[in-house]
Amino acid sequence: MTKTIKVRGPDGSVIDTELGPDVDLSKEDVRDSRGRRVTDDYADAVVERVHRAVGRPSLSGRGRSPRVTFRLPDDLRAEAERRAKRDGTTVSRLAREAFERFLRVS
């Protein structure tokens, strides 16, 4: 039995996709549009490429932007969220701007 669901693509388009039972790629001969056999390794590589391709654009315009993670006390995080909402921005952008100002002054 198949089920049709709506899937949103990386470009924002929505398509109807039929979901059916799982395929055992070690037993079934499934081919891609170029006639290559789809194996579990092939499928894993495709998924990895898609995960790398989607997401936010690089802040520098090339490659991937490095991520910086740090901890904040709850009250400071809440204050940052309030400020970002008030300014119509994100906590990430607010933090980047604060780092830039700090490093220019130092």
Domain spans in the chain, listed from the N-terminal domain onward = 23-57, 74-105
Q: What is the pTM of this model?
A: 0.46
pLDDT of residue 103: 94
Across the chain, mean pLDDT equals 83
- Scored b (16 or more CB within 10 A) or e, 66-105 reads eeeeeeeeeeeeeebeeebeeeeeeeeeeeeeeeeeeeee
Instruction: Decide: 25 and 43 in contact? Cβ < 8 Å.
Output: yes
Question: Comparing 19 with 33, which gets the higher pLDDT?
Answer: 33
Q: State which amino acid sits at residue 100.
A: E
Mean pLDDT value of segment 39-56: 80
Question: pLDDT value at position 82?
Answer: 95
Q: 29 versus 63: which is more confidently predicted?
A: 29
Residues 65-86: tens digit of each pLDDT: 788 888 999 999 999 999 999 9
pLDDT score, position 98? 93
